[in-house]
Structure 1
Amino acid sequence: MDAMNIGDLFSEALFIVVLIVVIVILPSLIIGLVVATFQAATQINEQTLSFLPRLVVTLMMLIFAGPYLVGKVTDYANAIFLNIPTLIG
């Protein structure tokens, strides 16, 4: 196993992590920004008001994109397990 294989494995794992974060967290951040802008415009200073929409959006993204994300992670894990003999030897 040389540095090129380690770099390829690490870069693919990092790409999958970034993909998961972008798909699940980014919509929640956008909704939080919209709610914060609404709160600033109406001068409603309730801290818990932005929690529920962000929670709902995060759960909806997990429901809709969850199978795709789990498929990506399991494909990556299967590829690593199948390539163990070539990576070691």
Structure 2
Amino acid sequence: VLVSLYMADHKLDDEGLPVETGNGNDLRAWAKDCSTLKLDPVNAPRVARPGDTNPYINFDPELCVLCARCTRYCDEIEAVNAITLTNRGS
């Protein structure tokens, strides 16, 4: 059910799976592995931040599934708390 709720706020392809972004999509993989419920799409999905200019990372906060891998890496490996989960995901 949780995967279905995450999917309700994402664009879906013809197979009913989250749209592939080119860099892999964990939510898409989870949806294939789980039997997801068909939920109605959100009437007005939120808009991602305009002007994300990072040349190396295609970041869309709306596609975040709040797994916290990025924040844990930043905290545990880089030893800085530079990023948080604030304003991410559905």
Q: Name the TM tier (shorter chain).
A: under 0.3
Normalising by structure 2, what TM-score?
A: 0.21
Structure showing greater Rg: 1
Q: Which has the higher helix share?
A: 1
Normalising by structure 1, what TM-score?
A: 0.21
